[in-house]
Amino acid sequence: MATGTQTGTTDTARGTWGSQMGFILAAAGSAVGLGHIWRFPYVTGANGGAAFVLLYIGAVFLIGVPILFAELTLGRHSNRNPVGAIKAIVGNSSWKYLGYLGVATGVFILSYYTLIAGWTFGYIFKTLLRDATTFDQFTNQGLLNAGLYMAFILMTVGVVYGGVRGGIERWSKILMPILPVLLLFIIIYSLTLPGSMAGVQFYLRPDFSSLTGQSVLVALGQAFFANSLGMGAMVTYGSYLSKDQNIITSGLGVVSFGILISFLAGFAVFPAVFAMGQSPAEGAALVFVVLPEIFNMMPGGILVGFIFFLLLSIAALTSTVSLLEVPVAFLIDEKAVRRKVAVWLMAGVTVLFGIPSALSFGAVDFFTELPLLAGLSFFDVMDYIFGNVALPLGGMMFAIFVAWRWGILNAANEIALGNRKFLGVQSAAWGFVLRYVCPVVIFVVMLNTTGVLGLIGL
């Protein structure tokens, strides 16, 4: 039973964070995952390097941060999961479907994210055993994939089972501080390789001519995915905050930690890639194909490879934990299901949807190249719908809900409970961005992502 300093609620049984630092580490754990260490370097590589990094940081601060504040505030105010949070403010209106979208997005992203997380876990052993199978051979073994998948979902279950303070916060406090240390180790190694400076230049010297309209979309999508925004993970984590905690400073702490880790991940990857004369634009295969090749050829590479995949697995685990916590909190709050039952139930549903994804890398032809969908795999389709479309859509709707429906003044008053200085200029600026800038920018970008602009000839 939690004994936090909650005010305005009698419901402390659902859990609270033990401290502001505990919350920051848990939320940073949710944010920092495959999105930062696996996806960030490859999308940066594919979009021209340094200029993209600047674009990404711009997207995070202009769009991501205001929405992060909105989600956390909504959660803390209501003490509820995304569905319950919305109901607490507007009752049983159609807005609740925004909450359901978030809960469903959590389950669906978890269903395919766990697969990649399972690979990173498998690669720890693959590296140690000097196993020579290629990435393609590795991913198309149905049974191996299923085994790794189950291992990873069970670790996730193990953490979420322990609850907010005894599971999520406790493990985040143990695991998160390890990340930068492991990362620094790899950076030092990467930077001392002969020829690595070309990678540093690529990464640090902006060439704006390399940016396209597409880069803007990718940067915005990455800002949502990497910061766990748009599906209510931050509503849920915010719901365990006590009233005296400062949403603004903790939110900025989380985002800055994420940017730091992403930035460092690039330093780990690009110098090594250039030192080996490889292309930085290898796409999704960058860390599973290019890096292991590099590790294989280098003295001491086995140890570095081991550390790298351990790092990725740890980062992924604190993210899968937050993806599972959203539907679990929903069942606990709305359906009065006990935590342990909720955890198993939702893990089961996740596995069910994960199977076709796991089989879509060559194990089963039907899922590998879906009929009617231009040869896309089941995995690709899930990632497109939930990773690329549902998150910005959800983020836009959360912005509109908080700014227009709940009201900036009400939301700002909630933030002010833990930060008196917020009322005034700061809340006015936040309100303006949340009301106008976020919805308009995301809307235009979404039209573009979904191809609607192309259809009307723009």
The nearer residue to ligand PHE, 30 or 172, going by C-beta atoms, is: 30
51 Cβ contact partners less than 8 Å away, ≥ 6 residues apart: 206, 207, 208, 210, 211, 215
Residue with Cβ nearer ligand PHE (190 or 228): 228
**Least distance from ligand PHE to the Cβ atom of residue 377, Å:** 20
DSSP-derived secondary structure letter, 422: G
The footprint of ligand PHE (CB under 6 A) covers 30-31, 33-36, 109, 225-226, 228, 231, 233, 319, 322-323
Nearer to ligand PHE, 370 or 445 (CB): 445
Number of residues that make up the chain: 458
Q: Could you count the other beta carbons within 10 Å of the beta carbon of residue 398?
A: 29
> Nearer Cβ to ligand PHE, position 186 or 254?
254
- Burial of residue 378, with CB atoms counted within 10 A of its CB: 0-12 exposed, 13-18 middle, 19 or more buried: buried
| Residue sitting closest to ligand PHE (CB) | 35
Min CB(225)–ligand PHE separation in Å = 5
DSSP 8-class letter at 363: T
What does the alpha-carbon distance between residue 10 and residue 355 come to, in Å, rounded to a whole number?
A: 41
Between 33 and 301, whose beta carbon lies closer to ligand PHE? 33
Q: At its nearest, how many Å lie between ligand PHE and the CB of residue 36?
A: 5
Residue 407 CB, nearest approach to ligand PHE (Å):
26
Residue 26 vs 400, nearer CB to ligand PHE: 26
What SS3 state is found at 53?
A: helix
Q: For residues 112 and 267, which CB has a smaller minimum distance to ligand PHE in the complex?
A: 112
What is the closest distance, in whole angstroms, from the C-beta atom of residue 324 to ligand PHE in the complex?
Answer: 10
Distance of CA 297 to CAs 128, 193, 217, 281, 382, Å? 14, 12, 36, 20, 35
Beta carbons within 8 Å of 394's beta carbon, 6+ residues apart:
98, 101, 102, 105, 229, 230, 231, 232
3-state percent breakdown (helix, strand, coil) of the chain, nearest 5: 75, 0, 25
Q: Looking at beta carbons only, is 247 or 323 nearer to ligand PHE?
A: 323
Distance CA 329, CA 58 (A): 32
Q: Cβ of residue 236: shortest distance to ligand PHE, in angstroms?
A: 10
Which CB sits closer to ligand PHE, 46 or 233? Answer: 233
Task: For the CB of residue 18, give the shortest distance to ligand PHE in the complex, in Å.
Answer: 21
Count of beta carbons in the 10 Å neighbourhood of residue 53: 21
Q: Taking the complex as a whole, how short is the minimal distance between the CB of residue 114 and ligand PHE, in angstroms?
A: 11
Residue 199 vs 392, nearer CB to ligand PHE: 392
Question: Which structure tokens are listed for 3?
Answer: 């004994």
Measured distance CA(116)–CA(361) in Å, rounded: 11
Give least dist CB 300 to ligand PHE, A: 28
Nearest to ligand PHE of 298, 446 (CB atom): 446
To ligand PHE, the closest distance from the beta carbon of 160 in angstroms equals 13
d(CA 24, CA 36): 17
Burial (CB count within 10 angstroms: exposed 0-12, middle 13-18, buried 19+), residue 12: middle
Minimum separation from the CB atom of position 228 to ligand PHE (A): 4
Backbone φ, ψ for residue 372 (5° rounding)? 75, -10
Euclidean distance between CA atoms 302 and 133, whole angstroms = 15
CA distances to 47, 94, 130, 269, 283 from 272, rounded to whole Å, are 18, 51, 19, 6, 16
